[in-house]
Amino acid sequence: MAFTEELDQKIKQAITSKVKGPCEKCGNFGFDLLDSTIRLDLQNKPNVIEVGGPSVPTIALACTNCGKIDFMQQKY
Ligand SMILES: [Zn+2]
């Protein structure tokens, strides 16, 4: 589900208040917020893909120059 404009702005404000510095790959300072959350499933068994277990809800930022994507835990 896409973020509302209000939620998008709140997330961007929270990120820019805490995250400083340029993209670690290209030095660019701009980023785009990907328009939905991403669920990272925690895997406890090697070679077994578990779905529906513990997970970490995240948001993703993409560098506006090189496209590098960084994941941020949603609760912060
Ligand atoms: Zn970059």
Question: Ligand 1 center to residue 45 CA distance, Å?
Answer: 33
Question: Ligand 1 center to residue 76 CA distance, Å?
Answer: 22
- Per-residue model confidence (pLDDT) at position 1: 62
pLDDT (tens digit, 0 to 9) for every residue of the chain, 76 residues total?
678 889 888 888 888 888 889 999 999 999 999 988 899 999 988 899 888 889 999 999 999 999 999 999 988 7
Entry pTM: 0.76
53 close to 41: Cβ distance less than 8 angstroms: yes
- Per-residue model confidence (pLDDT) at position 59: 92
Question: Ligand 1 center to residue 53 CA distance, Å?
Answer: 32
Residue in the structure block whose two tokens are 């990907």: 34
Question: Ligand 1 center to residue 64 CA distance, Å?
Answer: 7
Question: Ligand 1 center to residue 31 CA distance, Å?
Answer: 8
Give 30-56 as a 3 state SS string: CEEECCCCEEEECCCCCCCCCCCCCEE
**Could you give the number of structural domains in the chain?**
1
Structural domain span for residue 44? 5-73
